[in-house]
Amino acid sequence: MKSLDRSKPKRQMGLKDQSILCINLGSSSLKLALFEASNLKLQAREKKKKKDTHFELKDDLNHSIYHQALPDNAFDNWWQCLFAYLAKNDIRLLASGHRVVHGGPYTQPVRMSEDNLQALEGLIPFAPFHQGENLKGIKKMLSFDAELLQIACFDTSFHETMPRKEKQYAIPERFYDQGIQKYGFHGLSFESILRQLNDTEPSLIGKRLVIAHLGSGSSLCAVKSGKSVATTMGLTPLDGLIMATRAGKFDPALILNLLKQGYELAEIETIVFQESGLKALAGEADMKRLLERTDTKAQQALEHYVYSIQQHLALMVAALGGIDGLIFTGGIGEHAKTIWYTVCQEASWLGIRLREIDSTKLPCHISAEESEVDVWVLKSQEERIIAEHTKKLALQAC
C-alpha cells in the first residue's frame, strides 16, 4: 500500500481553483459536501439513505445540479457517481475530509498515514456499525487519487476537555490506563452548534449549555464556557439515551446473562446495536412514522424516548451546576417539534418556557421572553466543521 501521508498537497495552485470534499459515510447513509477551498462556500451536497437508487447533488440553494442512477441500484456504488462528477466538471481537490466516529487517543484531526489508518481500524470493535464504514470513505478516495491529502476528523475529539471524574469508569485503573474510558460522540455536531451560536447568540457561548443531538443516534452534551464537561455516550456510541435501534443505558450484567444463556458475542452485539431502542419498543425505528401512529406501542415508545431524554438532561444540568441554554439539533431535534416541545414541557422545573411558534425555519429561537433558559433549534453542520479542519491541516502541509 502506498503511503497516505504526503508532505504537501499534490497540486500547487490558488485556493480559488480548488475544492474540499467532505465525506460522512455510515452503514446506512451518506452525506457529501463540496466546498470552495478559498472561502468554504458550499458548492454541492448529497444526502442519501441506503434504500435510495439515485445519486443527486444539489447546490447551496437546494437546486439539483447532478443526477444519476446508481450503478446496479446499489448504495455502495455512490463513489462511481461522485468520481464521474468530479472528472466531468474538472474539479480539483485540495484535500478530502472524513468524519470518523471513534478517534480513541487522537484528540485532534489528523492527516492519514498507514499507521493512523491501522490504529483507527483497531477501534472498530468500539463502534462496530460506524467505524469500518467511515474508513471505507478514506479508502474509496485513495482509489480515486492516491496522492490526495486525507484528513480524519473525530466525533470524540470535542470531549477531550471532560474532567477525569467524567471520563473514568469505577473499574480497576489498569483499564483506564489502556484507554477504556468514556469518550463521547457527536462532537463534530456539537462543535458546529457552538460555531452557529457564536453568530446568532454570542452571549450564550460563555454560559452553561446542554446540546441535544437527536437523530437515529442521540446524545446530550453539557458545555461550559465553550468546552465539553459531560456527555451521555461512553466508550461506545451505545450508552446513554434510547435511540432508533440502540438500547442506550442498561444494566451491563444483561450481557453476562445473555452469554450464560448461550448467545454468541456477535448475536448480542446485533441485539443491542441494531434490534433495540425504538425498534424493540414499537417494532420500527423511524421517528416520523412513530409520530404518525396512534397505537399503544408507538405511544409507549415515544414516552420511553422522551423520559430517557429527561433523565439524561437532569444529569447534564447537574454536571453544569445549572443551565442557561438548551439547543436541539440532529434529524429529530431539528424536525420533530412534538419531541422537543414535550421535553421542554416536562423540563418546566428548570424554568423553561416556550413561545407560540408557527414556523420552525432554522435557526429558530423557541423560548418565551419569561423563560429562565434560552432554547434554540439549530441545524447540525458537521460537514462545514470537517471542511474547516481539513482546510487548516491542508494549508499547514503546503
Active site residues: 155
- Neighbour-count burial of 337, counting CB atoms closer than 10 A to its CB (0-12 exposed, 13-18 middle, 19+ buried): middle
For the chain, the first-to-last Cα distance in angstroms comes to 23
Q: Which residues are within 8 A (CB) of 231 and not within 5 positions of it... i.e. 6 or more apart? A: 159, 162, 166, 182, 184, 185, 186, 219, 220, 221, 222, 240, 316
* Residue with cell string 487548516: 392
C-alpha cell at 283: 417494532
Q: Can you tell me the distance from the alpha carbon of 12 to that of 215, in angstroms, rounded to the nearest whole number?
A: 40
CA 377 to chain centre: 16
DSSP state letters, 73-90: G-GGGHHHHHHHHHHHTT
Amino acid 216 reads S
* Continuous H helices in the chain: 78-88, 114-121, 131-144, 164-167, 173-177, 187-200, 253-260, 265-274, 277-282, 287-292, 296-320, 330-335, 337-346, 382-397
Edge to edge, the sheet with strand 110-111 lists 64-69, 54-58, 42-49, 29-36, 19-25, 93-100, 150-154, 110-111
